[in-house]
Amino acid sequence: MNQKIEVARRGEGEFYPAMIQDVTGDVLCITVPYLRGMPLVLVPGEHVLARVIESDAAYEFTSTVLGRRRDAIPLYALALPTELKRVQRRRFVRLDTLLDVWYAPLPERGSEPVFRAARAVDISGGGMRLAADRELAIGERLLLRFTLEVDDREIEIETVARVVRRDAGEEAEGRSGYRYRYGIEFVDLPLRTQDQIVRYIFRRMAERRKLR
């Protein structure tokens, strides 16, 4: 996998770099963290603060040391986090995906939304790239519904969104009929829901790296 991570004892401010080597079930295995040639010695039951490092973002979480593992190299086993906190961001980490989405023009008060099927071809904590079967206007507000598997359970998300751009290079219609591509921005997304999306992305990215 070779995903960058930094680890510190909770309550201490010095982070030690390491690498994520495996994610299995609820266990995150990392290399022994080193800083200036010195290892961070951890014991089972100890609480740590960790940061997962991406090219343009960092996510912080607390975890518990489960013990040591030995593969080709010594590893620490940490409990997989259930919550991630974004600590720095130039933009959201984006995950390429194929996700079924239902969308509807935002209805007037007292009216029921009329949903149409679409597909997200990528998703982030701030929005998605939507493949739709009809043209949408820039600035148009939509109601979105989609389902994510987070922490081994399915969560249905419903949010208001806004069309912010129409992408060039739209694909041929094909069997799906979703020929139009739009950049979609979530509007007033609750932080709890945003965290759920980020956890979904984090887990999927870890699973993909594991398969490489």
Which pLDDT belongs to residue 212? 58
* Closest to 22 in 3D by CA, of 72, 82, 87: 72
By CB neighbour count within 10 A (0-12 exposed, 13-18 middle, 19+ buried), where does 92 fall? Answer: buried
The domain limits of the chain are 3-91, 95-207
Q: Which CATH number fits domain 95-207: 2.40.10.220, 1.10.287.70, 3.30.420.40, 3.90.1150.10?
A: 2.40.10.220
Architecture of domain 3-91: Roll (2.30)
> Which residues fall within 8 angstroms of residue 38, CB to CB, at 6 or more apart?
none
Q: How far apart are CA 97 and CA 117, in angstroms?
A: 16
User: SS3 for 139-159, per residue?
Assistant: CCEEEEEEEEEECCEEEEEEE
Map tokens 């986090």 to a residue.
81
> Are the CB atoms for 69 and 24 separated by under 8 Å?
no
Task: Walk along the chain (212 residues) and give the pLDDT tens digit of each residue.
Answer: 567 889 998 877 788 999 998 888 889 999 999 988 899 999 999 999 998 866 556 788 999 999 998 878 899 999 988 787 776 544 567 888 899 999 999 888 888 999 999 999 999 888 999 999 999 999 999 999 999 988 788 999 999 999 999 886 555 444 467 889 999 999 988 878 888 898 888 888 877 766 65
Best CA proximity match to 142, nearest among 124, 154, 155, 127 = 127
- The pLDDT, as a whole number, for residue 12 is 78
**Fold match between 3-91 and 95-207?**
no
pLDDT score for 170: 57
